[in-house]
Chains A and B, each alone.
Chain A
Amino acid sequence: MTLSSFLRMGGYARFLWPAYGITFAVVILNIVWARRLIARARTEALRRLAVHGESS
């Protein structure tokens, strides 16, 4: 199997590759989203702790 025949996917390329593309875009998006969520939650928590630390 050559690279070009692999990419052609028997003629279904213009449906198959977007399908794979969308799926993996969604996977990556979910990963990024989850990591951003926890990172933001941590910075918020640190900020809250700093405020409380000063006022206490």
Chain B
Amino acid sequence: MSVTAITVAGHEDAPSAFTVARLALARDLTLAYRKREQLIQPLAFFAIVTTLFPLAITPELSGLRPIAAGVLWVAALLSALLALEFLFRDDSHDGTLEQYALSGRSLTWLLFAKTAAHWALTGVPLALVAPLAAAALGAPISAAPGIVVSIAIGTVALSLIGAIGAALTLGVKRSGALLSLLTLPLSVPIVIFGARATELALKGESYAAPVELLAAIAVLGLTLAPLAAAAAVRISLE
């Protein structure tokens, strides 16, 4: 999908920021589909990390069930972090990101689209796979909807705040540790509310309260994070 379609398309028609964003989203999804075997990697990482906990602690499901929510969230957080490095990598290498910044289109909306694509490709699969991991940790199947909802909303917020970190560390060599150091403390509220929601879901209780707080954070992120990420990208491209 041509970048020019996004950046040059019809100056006379002046496509709205939303149209441009939609094109960027479609582009990212298409490009990811062409390398779809790579989409498995964050999921495989999630599965491996989840597996490590029983190996490190106990094989007894009764002992794993109490920590299952926490384990799921730490594994999801680490997987999301891993996947963040790819958010801007290809586009910054081939100059697309620069084109986005120079295009005169809203960089905020373009980055919002990229983050949405990233969430669709990593957060959503994580949320769908998580109930399986939870079951392996002793969770009941009835908890599945709650697990999916809490992790799906939480990963929205994670992708958003992670995008800021990824934009800030663009071009920094071996930025993995720095990106983690920047993103993880800022993600603490997401982990706290998300894990609490998942825990309540595992117990079969109502998880509405923490999920609502989680959703509030996600909404705050939706409004502010693409702005901050756009500022960060511009700074990185100077």
Q: Do chains A and B touch in the complex (CB under 8 A)?
A: no
Please report B residues at the A interface, Cβ cutoff 8 Å: none
Please report A residues at the B interface, Cβ cutoff 8 Å: none
